A and B are shown apart, each in its own frame.
Chain A
């Protein structure tokens, strides 16, 4: 059994090396950067920066589902018939859309540390607690993302006519059935441009996690700058990598947009 797992593991390693877009055999840094400062391996900074790119993508991709789910719940709360639910959801969006992302990050990062420390000292543990920067960064980014996401989803909800809900009722669907089968497909289609903008913002906001010590693109290029003193080159490279991510995601979003509109009449 363990032999199978190690075989699978080594196959996965081989696959991820072959298909690595930056440092694999067909990677950008391997093709154009060998024997330069961007070579992969011990002689250059290619592999470090490729790792940073990976961390940035992982943070953004991990934040997206959490932010979407919280944002959906908040949006539902904001259009609830119950006044107190609306109030609670309103307070959430007001606070997290009004605070700078950087401040939210610090508040979550240090706040979690203090909370866990005091909780542990209450049960008798006195050691120092180090919070995982990835979890703190992801949590802070998803909180910010969800606050904006709630606004986008709320305006999309308002664009769906009441008759759609009534149609669901008259078909004898349960409320969750109406939501899942009738409202949600239309909601996604309406909200997609707004959500796409939020995704672009999220990609840019991931740069803040470098400040609490997560090795994303900006952190890794910063390390390279401190060693090589070539600030202009490396920070330009960081900007180019962010631009690359933006271009790739706008192409991807275009595909998704066309896919969601495949049933609409062509004009």
Chain B
């Protein structure tokens, strides 16, 4: 019988393997270098062209524009959600007329650009001024802000209708049947059984829709609303300084990224009971 009488003395660590230099590695480092260079160039440009006068003149305007954008998006998401509920139920109803109407609504608003819808509301409906004045709605269609809100609401309502319908229909039939066999009323079953499961499915699409709407809201600048994009265009027309657009890009990117991360956290939190 043999056994080790002495422990093996500590050995030096094996030599570190050199990572192979592949084409992908060279290309990757090169492209990342390009991105860094671009970022640095933009930073240098901003520092060397820094102008206190411009900053104090346009800085508050930018913040005001940011607020306008956020207000527009918040209001239109909420109103669009309210509008999408009856539309989604109309779309799912067995009544051919109702579901046909909702289908046509969704198809029209998803098939045409937001810009065209905006022009149609602001310039198109605005051309019926005497009629609108006679029904006392002219104050609404006179303001570009309200027109932007209206077309964004109608647009997002169409998308949200599809999201809501898809989510509700994704809940398995057995869930309805189980609730029915327990003697739960249809409405209660919808609130307590179907809707919680549907909203979890709808969470991610809703987040995407809000991001799309933030990006889409930039077009209201074309009809003279001073949102973030509108203020940017104003600042550019005053200074012919390219940085005005870069500042807008920074603002938009940070809103969208913040929202994306917030939403990811939100989703992870709300679906933690589904994790295995």
Contact = CB atoms under 8 A, between A and B. Distances in A.
A206 to B, nearest CB: 8
Given A84-B28, A110-B245, A235-B123, A103 B115 contact: no
A77 B27 CA distance: 10
Contacts of B34: 88
Given A205-B113, A242-B112, A100 B216 contact: yes
Interface string A228-247: 01111001101100110011
Does more than half of chain A's interface fall in helix, strand or loop, or is it mixed? Answer: helix
Does more than half of chain B's interface fall in helix, strand or loop, or is it mixed? Answer: helix
Given A100-B215, A110-B245, A208 B115 contact: yes
Contacts of A242: 111-113, 116
A103 B128 CA distance: 32
B73 to A, nearest CB: 12
Nearest to A231: B123
A98 B257 contact: yes
A94 interface: yes
Interface string B18-41: 000010110111011011000000
Interface residues of B, number: 48
Interface string B101-133: 000000110011111110110011111100000
B28 A231 contact: no
A98 B252 CA distance: 7
Interface in A53-112: 77, 80-88, 91, 94-95, 97-103, 106-107, 110-111
B271 to A, nearest CB: 19
A80 B24 CA distance: 8
Given A222-B119, A239-B108, A239-B112, A85 B127 contact: no
Interface of A: 77, 80-88, 91, 94-95, 97-103, 106-107, 110-111, 114, 200, 204-208, 210-211, 218, 222, 225, 229-232, 235-236, 238-239, 242-243, 246-247
Interface of B: 22, 24-25, 27-29, 31-32, 34-35, 107-108, 111-117, 119-120, 123-128, 214-219, 221-222, 229, 232, 236, 242, 245-246, 248-249, 252-253, 256-257, 260
6 contacts: A81-B24, A84-B29, A98-B260, A218-B115, A231-B124, A232-B127
